[in-house]
Amino acid sequence: MRTQSLIYLAMLLFYLMTCTPQEDKTMRQDINLVSSKVKIDLNNAIHPVSDMLFGLFLEDINFSVDGGLNANMVNNHSFDGIYLKKGGVFTSIKSFLFKKPLNPVYDRLRYWIRTGDGQIESSNDRPLSANHYYARVCINGIFRLENLGYNGGKDHKTKCAMGIFENAAYDFYAYFRIDDFKGKVTVYAADEADQVITDKKEIDTFNHDWDVHSLVLEGKKTATGKLVIEFEGTGTMDIDFVNFSNQDYWGNGDAKWSQEHLRKDMVGKPVIRGTRLTVEYILNKLAHGESIPEILEEYDGLSNVDIQACLLFVTKSLENTSFMPLEEEIV
């Protein structure tokens, strides 16, 4: 580790010593830009602002939104997956120093499992939104699309990761558009043994223009499952923006949060760096008797340092907190 650090430092020094005057000038301009100031005058409105204008800005620095804070359990829900080649810290530093872009990997159908009589391809012909891709499905009998959710990959890449609870209600919606498809689409959740764990709902009416279809599925069993979209018929149709989420989300019933669903168990909660695991979740496991080695074995990538950080966080949070007994009121 120390040797790697010395190599990175040497690369940085080499770059600074060999950069051209123009590059040096550019760097200095960049530094000046960083120290620039922005003045905001709240009393000088340029134009009227609607009372209905509201929103939430998220920058997923900690990689804890998709599969975490976002209540949608579908991985690559928009069929537009773009990823980066994994090269570690060395690749990132080299890209920064020599201004070489990181090579993207276009795998727009990643995390969608296809089985049965049909095929799927990525297309951007008349998309739902500009510069966007979607999935074009060609069916000749019974064809299934399955999504396991956010299972973390690696040793768990074939595992179902969608939490389904008995009697809980789940929202499903997706955009469909038919070309010449004749048939029906059935939606449900199944466990790893392919046993159905929600009720099944059918969609049998489609349009030749993009149209959203919504269903509510009820959990029949508490288990970890996958989303199944089953096409039965013949022809071609398009699908995009697939959502499958628990109705018990943060802000449910509030019109301000009708466009984006966030998990109520994660909103405002600190998470372990680089994961979607909340500090509360780890502490709850410890409180119920699970040992640190058991937790580390269950979650790849976690270390003793992460568990210690959770404990330190709670310690710091309680550092300046006092608890006083309440006196009973005598009537």
| Residue 87 confidence (pLDDT) | 59
| Residue 221 confidence (pLDDT) | 95
Q: Which of 7-21, 74-88, 232-246 has the highest mean pLDDT?
A: 232-246
| Residue 151 confidence (pLDDT) | 86
Helix (H) or strand (E) holding 203: strand 201-203
Q: For the chain, what is the mean pLDDT? A: 83
Whether 220 and 198 have beta carbons less than 8 Å apart is answered as: yes
Q: What is the mean pLDDT of residues 272-278?
A: 82
| Residue 31 confidence (pLDDT) | 44
Closest to 302 measured CA to CA, from 318, 289, 285: 285
Condensed to tens digits (0 to 9), the pLDDT of residues 54-65 reads 555 555 555 567
* 8-state DSSP, 330: P
Residue 300, both tokens: 């790849």
Question: Which of 87-96, 103-112, 161-170, 268-277 comes out lowest in average pLDDT?
Answer: 87-96
Three-state DSSP at 209 gives: coil
Please check the confidence at residue 13 and state whether its pLDDT lies above 80.
Answer: no
- Location of structure tokens 């956010």: 150
Q: How far is CA 262 from CA 42, 162, 248, 283, in A?
A: 30, 15, 10, 22
Q: What CA–CA distance (Å, rounded) separates 265 from 200?
A: 27
pTM here? 0.73
Residue 152, both tokens: 């973390």
Compute the C-alpha angle 261/266/270, nearest 5°: 140
| Residue 28 confidence (pLDDT) | 47
Question: Which of 34-38, 81-85, 306-310 comes out lowest in average pLDDT?
Answer: 34-38
For the chain, which residues make up each domain, given as ranges? 104-257, 279-318
Q: What CA–CA distance (Å, rounded) separates 223 from 108?
A: 28
| Residue 1 confidence (pLDDT) | 47
Confidence category of residue 311, pLDDT binned at 50, 70, 90 = very high
Please check the confidence at residue 6 and state whether its pLDDT lies above 80.
Answer: no
Please check the confidence at residue 98 and state whether its pLDDT lies above 70.
Answer: no
Please check the confidence at residue 162 and state whether its pLDDT lies above 70.
Answer: yes
The distance between the two most distant Cα atoms of the chain, rounded to a whole number of Å, is: 84
Percent of the chain with pLDDT over 90: 50
Q: What is the mean pLDDT of residues 211-221?
A: 97
**Fold adopted by 104-257:** Jelly Rolls (2.60.120)
Please check the confidence at residue 23 and state whether its pLDDT lies above 50.
Answer: no
Please check the confidence at residue 230 and state whether its pLDDT lies above 80.
Answer: yes
